[in-house]
Chain A
Amino acid sequence: MPQFDPSSFSSQIFWLAVMFVVLYLLMSKIALPRIAEVLEERQDKIDDDLAKAEKLKTEAEQVLAEYEKAIADARSSAAAALKEASAEMAAEAAKREEAFGAELAAKISEAEGRIATARNEALKNLTAVATEVTAAATDRLIGAKLDEATVRKAVDDAMGDAS
C-alpha cells in the first residue's frame, strides 16, 4: 500500500501543515467573520421584525378594543337617550291628560253649579207661585184672608215634606 511508504511522509506532512495553516488563516480572518456578520444581521432583523409585528398586533388589538368600546358607548348613550325621550313623552302625555281632566272637572262642577242655581231659582219661583196660588185658593174657597207669612210657612212645610 502506498500509504505506508515513509518516503512520501515528509512532503505530505509539510504540505498538510502549510495548507492547513493557510486555510485556518483564510477562515478565521476572512470567511468566518463574514458569515457570522450576516447571520447576526439576520437574527437581529428577525428579532426586530418579530418585535415590530408584535407591537403592531398589540396596537391593532388596542384599536379594536377602542372601537368596540366606542360602539358600546354609542349604544348605551343611544339607549339612554331613547329612554329619556320616552320618559319625557310619557310625562308630557300624563301632564296633558291631567290638565284635560282638571278642565273637564272644572267644567262639570260649573255645570253642576249652574244646574243647582237653576233648580234653586226654579224652586224659589215655585214657592212664590205656590204661595200666591195658596193664598188665592184659600181666599176663594174659605174666604180667609191669610197673611203672606203664614201661607209661605205652610207652603214651605208642604214642599219640605215633598222634597
Chain B
Amino acid sequence: MAAGEKQSPLDQFTIKPLSGEPTMLGGFDISFTNSSAAMLATVAAVTLFLVFSMRGRALVPGRWQSCAEICYEIVANMLRDNVGSEGRKYFPFIFTIFMFVLFGNFIGLIPGSFTFTSHVIVTFVMASVIFLGVTAIGFARHGLGYCRMFFPHGAPLWTAVILVPIELVSYLSRPLSLSVRLFANMVVGHVLLKVIAGFVIALGVFGIVPLAFLVGITALEFLVAALQAYIFTILTCIYLHDAIHMH
C-alpha cells in the first residue's frame, strides 16, 4: 500500500494558506486558508439559502422556504423546550451556531472541500465562547449564588469537600466534551470516507463493493453531520438552561 502511505487519510485536514506568503497581524499568522474559505462558503451558503428561500415570503411555502422555516422552527422549539421563554433573546446566537455548524458539516462533505469543524481548535473556541458566555449569564442572573451550582442541595455539608471539586471538574469539562464530540465525529467520518474511497480506487473493477459501501457511509455521514449540529446546539441550550434556572 505505497499509494496509501503517500496519501494519508489525514491529509484532507491539512491547513493550506491560499495566498503565497502568510498574512500577519500583531505577530499572529492570520492567512486566509482553505479552512477560512470553507467558513466563508458556509456563511455565504447560509445567508443565500435563508435570504433567497424567504424571498417570496409566501404564506404557503415552497420547497426552499419550507426548509428555511424548518431550520428556524427546529432551533426555536429546541430553545423553548430546553430553556423556556427566557431563552428567547439568545435565539439569534443559538440559531447562528446551529446553521454555522450544520452548513460547515455539510460543506465539508462535498468532495475536495474542507471541514472546518474537523479541527479541534475551531470547535474548542466555539465551545469555550459558549461556556464563558453561559457562565457569565449565570453569574449575571444569580450573582455569587451561581456558585451553588457546584454543590447539590440536600447533600450533607461535609461532602462539599469532595463534591465541589468533582462538580467543578464536571463543569469545566463541558467545553471540552462539547468540542471533542463534534470534532471527533467529523474526523472519524471523514477518515472513514477517505479510507473506503482509497479501497475503491485500489481495488479497481472490484471496487464496486466498497463503492456501494461508500455511498451508504456518505449517506450516514450526512445524517451524522446534521445530528452533530443538532447535538451541539441542544447542549448549548441545556447549558443555557442550567445557567438561567440553576437546575
Contacts and interface: CB of A to CB of B under 8 A. Distances in A.
Which range contains the number of B residues in contact with the other chain? Answer: 35 or more
A38 B100 contact: no
B72 to A, nearest CB: 5
B113 interface: no
Interface in A3-41: 3-5, 7-17, 19-20, 22-24, 26-28, 30-32, 34-39, 41
Given A23-B99, A38-B69, A11 B54 contact: no
Interface in B16-70: 17, 25, 28-33, 35-36, 39-40, 42-43, 46-47, 50-51, 54, 57-59, 61, 65, 68-69
A30 B52 CA distance: 11
A142 interface: no
A1 B13 contact: yes
A40 to B, nearest CB: 11
Majority-rule SS of A interface residues = helix
Given A2-B15, A3-B119, A12 B28 contact: no
A26 B187 CA distance: 29
A9 B95 CA distance: 25
B96 A27 contact: yes
B118 to A, nearest CB: 7
A45 interface: yes
Contact of A16 (B15, B17, B93, B126): B126
Nearest to B100: A23
Contact of B46 (A3, A8, A11, A23): A23
Interface of B: 10, 13-15, 17, 25, 28-33, 35-36, 39-40, 42-43, 46-47, 50-51, 54, 57-59, 61, 65, 68-69, 72-73, 91-93, 95-96, 99-100, 116, 118-122, 125-126, 183, 187
Interface of A: 1-5, 7-17, 19-20, 22-24, 26-28, 30-32, 34-39, 41-42, 45
